[in-house]
Structure formats: structure tokens, C-alpha cells
Amino acid sequence: MTITMDDSRVVTVAQLEEFMKGSQGVNLSLGDASLEEKYSVIQKTIRKFSYTKLSRKEKRVVYTYLRKLTGYKKAQLYRLIHRASLLGASLKPKPYKRVHPHRIYTAADIKLLEKTDELHLRLSEKATKEILRREAEVFGNMKYQTIARISHGHITNLRHSESYRSFWINHTKARQVSIGETKPPENFGRPGSIRIDSVSQKDVYHINSVDEITQWEIIFCVPQISERYMLPALEEIFAQYPFVIFNFHSDRGKENINYRVAELLQRLLIKQTKSRSYHSGDNALAETKNGSIIRKNFGWEHIGQSLVDDINPYLKNFFNPYLNFHRPCSYPTIEKDEKGRKKKEYNIHQVPYEYLKNLPNAEAFLKPGQTFEQLDKIAYSYSDNEWAEIMRKEEDKLFAKIREANKKDGSFS
């Protein structure tokens, strides 16, 4: 349906202002009108209200009216108003006229540029222009006399033209390592998809692994992040999880992206994925645990490599059980607003073990031979504060050894 608007009775700026106030909720745009119709409306309005003789406030009213009517942006509308205000000027679209209607550089010239780039491995525009000039002027090659006059800026334009083929360019090629899939980690709504990262503690590294669903966390310490130490560490980490691991996600660090780790995961039937570039959220769960768990409890104090054999029993027997049976974590619930946007709210707080038990069909996720009766003995033998007190006493003993070792070898935190 087409609506025809008649504003012939609006003859003063005051009436125009009242008309604008009364039509705030009405769409008066001429978006579907032709360019000639829009220009005609602008010129008619300017002459009708004698725009050049109006005060600044009255000009503002006319401008607002035309902007709502035409939908033009500020700068464009002011230019059209200025053209329509000139005496004797007729506001019409300017016909397009090519500045240079003939083509200067032919496909043969572009091929000469392409050949030059191929021989010299695509130098800068100015250096390329100099080579083209020398071919024509110094060495008298007549084929280059046209392309030699090109500006260095237009060389860029020709390099992006359809006639120019750039497949031969010797770009720096990233090494493609066919280890793991570059994709976000997949959990399929079940425990067993772990994210893993390493945290440096001067001379040792903490290997931090977190399950995506339950936030079950296992930490292991190694003196170096080399294949020699990583493979036994990963096997020990997998063994400490009560459920079956089916996905292993990490960043692109060499300690996890190598053929030895890939072979281990393949033997255990564990899928390997790695983070995408510029997607820091792919491994965000492990990154946040690095700060809130490892840095908060171990700090930045220097730890010598000889103390790894003291740290791992502490982690396995005291710290890891504390994290999974006695330290509550925040779990999100996802809600959608009226526009369908997802919003996470962390309104569930449970220890990972309780969250695991409350999953539907939770027993099906446990390893063969593992039962909740066995895990209940670990979870409920001590209260959260009782186990935390035991764990802190063992922590004090461990750090006393660390500081004593630092004094002997002259290391400082």
C-alpha cells in the first residue's frame, strides 16, 4: 500500500515544527523513493520556506524534517541543502563521468608486473617501480615503456586485479602439525572432557587438569615439561579421575602437542583437541583454575626440581582430595532472555563430588570397579574444615622443606 503525504497546508516553520511533534511515531521515510523524487522534495522544501532567510533555530527545524523524510546522513543532507539554496540552481543527480575513460595498463602490462614480482619475490612498490623504470630506460626494453610510468600506489591496485595471479608468492608458511583437532572442547553433557594447562613455578611445572562438567581437578608436578616427564604425569592424572576420560583439550604448547602425547591418547582412546587462534575462551576453565587454585595456594615461591617427589604425594593424598571433596565450586545455569540471548548465572555452589553424584545416571560415568560407596568413604570421613586443617598442616611441612632447600642452594622466592 502506498501512502501519499500532502504537506501543502504547512506553510510556516512553526506549523512544520508542530507537524514534526505530532508525527514522532510515524515513519515518514522516502526509503523506497527514487533519487530524483528525494532531490525534488529537498528543493521544494528549501524554496517553500525560503531557507536562506530563516534563523538558525528555524533552519534546524527544516533540516530535521528533511532528514526524517529522506533518511540522508548529516553531511550529505547539508551538501544537498547548500546546492538547493543557490539562486537559479536545480537540484539534480550529477551524471557519472569517468575521469580516464580509456584503459592505460593492459593485461600484457600486468603480466610484466607479475613476472617482475615473481623474479624478485615481490619487492616493495617503490623498489618494483624502479626495476620497471630501469628495464625501459636503462636497458631499453620497449615492452616496459608503458608499465614503467606507473605510480607506486597503482602497483598495489594492479596486484589486486583479476589479471594478476599471486599463487606463486613465497609467503612464510606455518608448519601444519596434524596432532589434535582445532576446535572447542566437546563434553556431550557428561564428565570426562578435561582441559589441561601448565603453570610455571620457577624450576618446576604444575600440570593442571580440570573436567569441564564437574570441575573435578587433578594437579601433578613435573621438573620439566618434556616428553620424558609429561607421559608419566598424564597417565597418573588420568588414573586419579574416578570417571572415564574421553576428551583431552589443551592450548598449542609443545608439552601437549607432540607425537608421544598423541600416541598415548590414541592408545587410551581419548580424543585430542586444541584451542583455536584468538579464542581465549577455549581453555578458559583451566586458565581460571591456574590463578584461583595453584597461584593462590602455591604462590610464586621458588621450588627446586629435587622436591617434585615431595610435592606429588602431597598433591595426591591431600590437596587433590581437598579440591574435589571439600572445596565448593560455582556452576552456571544458562537462561535465555526475550531476545534469545544466552546468559550464564553462577547460582549453584557444590563440591565437585556432590555435583558428580547429582548428575542423571551418574554411576554409568564411573570407571569399571569404581563405586560411589568407595568414594563416600573419602568424602565423608572428615568434614570440610577438618580435612582443610589436615591439608594445611601438610602444606606447612612441605613449604618448610622447600624453604630449607632454598636456603641450602641459595635460591630465593
Q: Measuring CA to CA, which residue among 249, 184, 195, 185 is closest to residue 218?
A: 195
Distance of CA 37 to the CA centre of its chain: 45
Q: Is the pTM of this model over 0.85?
A: no
Distance of CA 112 to the CA centre of its chain: 41
CA distances from 235 to 30, 46, 182, 239, 268 (A): 70, 82, 23, 6, 10
Both 78 and 214 in one domain: the answer is no
CA distances from 404 to 313, 400, 411 (A): 19, 6, 10
Both 232 and 202 in one domain: the answer is yes
Task: Please indicate, yes or no, if residue 55 is contained in any of the structural domains.
Answer: yes
In the numeric block, the cell 558428580 is attached to: 356
In the numeric block, the cell 600440570 is attached to: 207
Regions of the chain with pLDDT less than 70:
1-9, 22, 24-29, 31, 87-89, 98-102, 166-177, 410-413
pLDDT at 26: 59
Task: Please indicate, yes or no, if residue 211 is contained in any of the structural domains.
Answer: yes
Of 120, 142, 159, the residue at which a domain comes to its end is 159
Both 323 and 209 in one domain: the answer is yes
φ, ψ dihedrals at 63, nearest 5°: -60, -45
State the burial class of residue 103 (Cβ atoms within 10 Å of its Cβ: 0-12, 13-18, 19+): exposed
Both 212 and 302 in one domain: the answer is yes
Task: Please indicate, yes or no, if residue 8 is contained in any of the structural domains.
Answer: no
Task: Please indicate, yes or no, if residue 294 is contained in any of the structural domains.
Answer: yes
Task: Please indicate, yes or no, if residue 75 is contained in any of the structural domains.
Answer: yes
Both 199 and 59 in one domain: the answer is no
Both 81 and 112 in one domain: the answer is no
Contacts of 157 (CB under 8 A, 6+ apart): none
| CATH number of the domain within which 397 lies | 3.30.420.10
363, three cell numbers: 554411576
Both 47 and 137 in one domain: the answer is no
Please count the other Cβ atoms lying within 10 Å of the Cβ belonging to residue 220. Answer: 24
Residue type, 173: K
User: To 10 degrees, what angle do helices 107-120 and 125-137 make?
Assistant: 110
CA distances from 355 to 91, 192, 211 (A): 72, 14, 12
Task: Please indicate, yes or no, if residue 97 is contained in any of the structural domains.
Answer: no
Both 127 and 275 in one domain: the answer is no
Q: By the 8 A CB rule, do 42 and 30 touch? A: no
Domains contained in the chain, number? 3
pLDDT at 311: 93
Q: By the 8 A CB rule, do 179 and 232 touch? A: no
Both 373 and 281 in one domain: the answer is yes
Q: By the 8 A CB rule, do 37 and 50 touch? A: no
Hey, is 82 helix, strand or coil?
helix
Q: What range defines the domain where residue 219 resides?
A: 190-408
Q: Measuring CA to CA, which residue among 320, 370, 327 is closest to residue 217?
A: 320
Task: Please indicate, yes or no, if residue 99 is contained in any of the structural domains.
Answer: no
137, three cell numbers: 630506460
Both 128 and 50 in one domain: the answer is no
Query: What is the rounded CA–CA span in Å between residue 316 and residue 106?
Result: 74
Task: Please indicate, yes or no, if residue 383 is contained in any of the structural domains.
Answer: yes
Element (H, E) at 43: helix 35-48
Both 237 and 367 in one domain: the answer is yes
User: To 10 degrees, what angle do helices 56-70 and 35-48 make?
Assistant: 160
CA distances from 410 to 41, 402, 404 (A): 86, 12, 10
Q: Measuring CA to CA, which residue among 65, 77, 73 is closest to residue 22?
A: 65
Both 404 and 322 in one domain: the answer is yes
Strand-pairing partners, residue 194, are 211, 248
pLDDT at 1: 41
In the numeric block, the cell 501512502 is attached to: 3
